[in-house]
Amino acid sequence: MNFLGIIPEISGNISQWGDFGISVMFQGIFWDIVAAPYRTRQGEYCCSLCVDAYENGYAEEKPIYYSSRKELWIQHCYEPFLKWANDNLNSSHCLCLQEIEGGGITWAKIKTLEEAKVGSWKFIIPLVKDK
């Protein structure tokens, strides 16, 4: 699924197994999944955005781990995802893409326009489509 008014390189997907993710496809290359709940080796479910934010010092709260995917969806995904989309998928943010070894390793981050100026990105793409 695509987001209204947002560049088509960013899309959401709900799989037949109930997994949800936000992924990046640019110039025919799959670059990264920027948001996806996942299951730990201990069988718990958590949000990759929350884990990433905590591990990188952006969030002080430890991520919550849930006993089932259903519990994660109900308690963590629906309303927080809407807030994340509204906070990040807008004209003050851009899609930053980087690769190593000619595309052998790729990754994507959604950054504010100011944050994108720091670091070296191969591509910096405004998120909002031109009308």
Write out pLDDT tens, residues 1-36.
788 888 888 888 777 766 667 788 888 888 877 666
pTM (global) more than 0.75: no
In total, how many domains does the chain have? Answer: 1
Residue 36 lies in a domain: yes
State the alpha helices, DSSP H only, in the chain: 48-55, 69-72, 78-88, 113-116
Residue 1 lies in a domain: no
Residue 2 lies in a domain: no
Residue 39 lies in a domain: yes
Residue 23 lies in a domain: yes
Residue 106 lies in a domain: yes
Residue 121 lies in a domain: yes
Q: Which two tokens stand for residue 11?
A: 């899309």
Rounded CA Rg of the chain: 15
Write out pLDDT tens, residues 37-70.
788 899 999 987 788 889 989 889 999 999 998 8
* Dist CA 34 CA 12 (whole Å): 10
State the alpha helices, DSSP H only, in 10-62: 48-55
* Dist CA 110 CA 102 (whole Å): 21
